[in-house]
Structure 1
Amino acid sequence: MSVLTIRLPDDQHERLKALAAHRGLSLNKLFEEFTVKALAEFDIETRFRVRAAHGDADAGLALLDKLDRHFGSEVR
């Protein structure tokens, strides 16, 4: 497992701690959830771009539908 140090403005740090507490999570676990979501979005976009480059419009649209079902309006 890796250790990551990030620098944030104090107000953002306090807000993130409050968000984690509201969700009943540690700050570390909150960031783990953020990274899982970000990487899933990245993987879906990458697969879409690969399929789009091969001209498979139906497969690309199916991935967009999957993205909408999974993330809903959060992506917009």
Structure 2
Amino acid sequence: MSQLALRLPDSLHERARMLAQRDNTSLNQFIALAVAEKVSALETASFFSERAARGNLDDLRAILDKVPDEAPTAGDER
């Protein structure tokens, strides 16, 4: 496991400390989880961007053209 020195503005440090306490966890665990969430969000966005770049709009349109133009089944309106 790595260690690092982290500089935070006092106000952010205090808010993180309070939220960690409210979540009944250590500040270290709170910050580790926050970093993990951010890494996951960025990797997910990158994954979908790469998938979209490989997509083909003509293929999508061909698939959508096969969908019948009719009202949704009762209960599926949303």
Q: Which has the higher helix share?
A: 1
Shift of 1:56: 5.1
Question: Where does residue 36 of structure 1 map in the other structure?
Answer: 36
User: What is the TM-score when the length of structure 2 is the normalising length?
Assistant: 0.65
Rounded Cα–Cα distance in structure 2 between residues aligned with 1:9 and 1:24: 22
Rounded Cα–Cα distance in structure 2 between residues aligned with 1:35 and 1:10: 19
Rounded Cα–Cα distance in structure 2 between residues aligned with 1:56 and 1:27: 46
Runs of 4+ residues deviating >4 angstroms: none
Report the aligned-residue RMSD: 1.7
Instruction: Determine which structure has more spread, i.e. the larger CA radius of gyration.
Output: 2
Question: Where does residue 7 of structure 1 map in the other structure?
Answer: 7
Q: Identical aligned pairs, as a percentage? A: 34
Unaligned runs of 5+ residues in structure 1 are 59-76
Q: Relative to structure 1, is the Cα distance of residues 56 and 17 closer, same or farther in structure 2, using a 3 angstrom cutoff?
A: farther
Q: How many residue pairs are counted as aligned between the two chains?
A: 58
Alignment of 1:23-62 (within 5 A): 23-55=23-55
Question: Where does residue 20 of structure 1 map in the other structure?
Answer: 20
Rounded Cα–Cα distance in structure 2 between residues aligned with 1:56 and 1:41: 25
Unaligned runs of 5+ residues in structure 2 are 61-78
- Larger RCO (CA under 8 A, 6+ residues apart): 1
